Structure 1
Amino acid sequence: MENRRCPVCGKEQDEMYFCRQCGWDFTTDLLIGEWQQEISEEEREIYCERLELLKKNFEKVRKWEQIRQITNDSEEKRGEFDPKQYGVDWESSSVEIPEGYEKIAEEAFRGWRNLKEIRMPKTIREIGERAFYGCENLSVIWWPLGLKRIRKEAFFKCESLRELKLPPHTEEIGTRAFGWCRNIKKVIFPDSLKIIWREAWTGCEALREIRLPEGLQMIGASAFSDCRKIQMISIPESLAERWNEKQCFAEIFRWCENIRQVLIPDTGNFELLTQVLNFSPLLSVSFFHRAETTKKAKFEWNREQKNKKIAEIDSDTQKLTLRIPYGYTQLGMVRNVERIWIPDSVEKIEERFCDIGDLSSRKYEISIKWSQNLKVIGKQCCSGIGIQKLYLPKNIESIGVGAFEHCDFLQWVFLPNTIKKIGADAFEGCPIKVFVLEKGIKETIEQQMKRKFPTAQFQTAET
């Protein structure tokens, strides 16, 4: 039998029924032999269209087979992968990149609106700039285990992404890499992450929680700006230690309107704390500790108190509440706090502890739960706070000068019999109506208060 040439792949065949190269069925070939004289023009046109389509698809298959053969035959790394060089159909919904490539080229899949799934091999180390820019239907990513860098705008406006778990060796996320991926709800960052560039996650409107990994060294301006549903942020110690005045969390989380809780390490860096407290409307700040003594820290604390929260929110009242953990012996200054819990380990409160600015002009009660072992209240400790009743603990010995001056709502005060000294003007400007003095209090203390508040009512309480 005479050899025939396959109309699809062009290979000469000695097989009667089908092509061994591409599988073409010769029994349906209307352009060969006796069939050529019997077909109509309409049948011929349909047949030719089908044949052209088969030829095109075969060329794509052959190119992909060549790519696979190259990568399988050699372990040599192939550099950049660009789908345009290999005839990948830009209307494909799923693409698998062959093994051996280290990088996805810049703008490789930009604007591929039909792309829903991408599979990357473990050899990929870098995703180039705008590689998947505007792939609005991309929802499934098979991440390469060896990935280290995601470049600028790599996944910008990939609006079908829902949840991301970045691979374990990722070190860098570029500028606007995931910008305006509006439907991302959750991101899990690897511990290897070192740098997040500016606006990396800007406009991720569905994102609710950010837990930055320990080891992160830099985060760019507006990195999470316009993430309007974020409610909780966890800031690692590695980032807090590298804090400087050029960085500002208020900028990093700009326009994040629903932040309710921030977890922040107590590194003694109170500039960082001030920035966090400037969030609006921030409802909660929680501190956790490192296991060493910091001389510069305002709080002296027990070495054993590790990873323990010392500030949290009273969600019913929506006012900032400071819970200080057991183990502290002295307290320095805090700002903008409306409710304070002081543990029984505290024996001394430094001067100007509760610096609340203009909060005294607000007509609500500020609550302080005192340490039962407190002995010394420093100078101007609680000046101007909006407290209505003051029940001092029974071990108190000394109240500093101006400690409670200008507390405009203070009307009721309990003084225990352990008090030995009350500084001048301790209650200056307070409209106190009732003093309750514990039985056995020093007579000099009683006389001092009666001279200062001649119209107040004085009562005696049993021990």
Structure 2
Amino acid sequence: MSNKTFIKLLSAVIMMSACMCMTSCDDPNPSESDKPSSPEWENILAFNIVDGEAEVRCVSDTVAEVKIPSEVTIDGATYPVTTIAQEGFSNLPKLKALYIPVSINKIKREAFKETDIESLYIESLESWCDISLDYDYYYDSVERRLVNSHSPIRFNTTLYVKGVPVYDLVIPGTVKDISDGSFYGLNCRSVTFPKGVESIGVASFGGCENLTEIRFPDSLREIKLSAFENCKKLSEVDFGNGVKSIFLHAFKGCEKLVSVTLPESLTYVGVNSFDFNTKEYHIKDADWWCQLKRPEWFVLVGGAPLFSMYPDNEDEYPHSLYIGGKEVTDIVIPGSLSKITADTFRGNTALRSVTIGEGITDVGKNAFRNCPGLKDVTFPSTLRTMGWQAFQDSGIEDLHIPPCGLDSIPQWAFYGCTRLKSIEITEPVSYIGMMAFADCVSLTKIVLPKTLSGSEGVIVLDGCICLNEIYVQALTPPNLDFGLPDNLYDNIKVYIPSGTLDAYKESLKWSRFKLFIETDIDNDKSF
């Protein structure tokens, strides 16, 4: 709707003696008796009629207090006021108090951008929990916090329900779903959820920086994206025993939340659901933890995964697992699980040894990434697949992959394992992915199987500055790009099968090595 149309609509006499705008007063939270009756004001509010309902915006940048009417009469016709227009109350630095009637059920994008409401008056918490509110954030460089530009609520906003200020929020018992962004940034000390609530919406309580403790009823099923993000004083959460899903960033930025006990009902946990400072995860058992579903965040290009959307900072969320109050350092994963899902133990700083039980076929992406204390890993003969970066930046010292169904080592699988000294890869591995063993700076020896054919030209050993022995069982030189420093090629001993010297010397990729040693691979115990 153009400004001309709004101005034309304003020419109609708007009868709202109890719903008009008032000038600012000394008391930022006036009582009902102190509020003066509103005269008839023009050029304050404008209305756009869509499908028999009115959409409202403020067209004055001088008012300090606005009361939105529940209905408006234009040209003799009366319309319910149901929507706050896009940018409808944006860039109003003097507006500090706002009255929103129950009739409002939708607030459009950037409705309150650059407008700081100090006092928000509503008539019903139940209807506010159901409001349709876009959520989006911008960074306020003065306040140094994220702000939802679509909501009238800011960090310093006090909510009034029927004229009574709310600092301890009690959600009505009739509410089942709390809408997205509904209380984002609210100045409240506590929130009480009713037994019937089932879903907490996206960013619904994010930025409520005075919240210290939350208890959820057993009826709760899901906590959505960023629901409590940046609740900086939140130190205790009781999840009850009904929550099934905790989504991405649900408790990110909750700096005081150092320990959480996850309910047995949980089946899905999102990437970075908790903060860097959440160090302790108390869980039912290791089997349960391994079966939790976790998202695999990848950008698809031409139908193929290009890169992970998981944050690249490998030190981002270091933590430990606790079972029965005891920190888990050594773990046996039973084969009955068949797979270890992506990110299952990522960032676990307490793990020292892992035995992957017979029956496990798949180790997911990032499953043991950045486990710096993880020295020993025992692989099963049933292993078939391994995900990208599965053991990147872990503390493995000696790697032995036994004969199994694994035919490839994925890219970045053991990248940055700085304590890794020796690698033994067995059949039927035929392919080694990009940078699979790069920056393994302590690596001195690697044994490659007969079945290895190559790496399709990608670098696999970049930064392995201590490497001095390569044992190759393949009769045909594998197509490998090593990526080693130039000065190492003259000194590394390369053990190859008897009768293959000419083939290796003539190979473009292997000809850079100078110290070839032919040996009987069937009887040489070094293989």
How does the TM-score come out when normalised to structure 2? 0.41
Structure in which a larger fraction of residues adopt helix: 1
Structure in which a larger fraction of residues adopt strand: 2
How does the TM-score come out when normalised to structure 1? 0.45
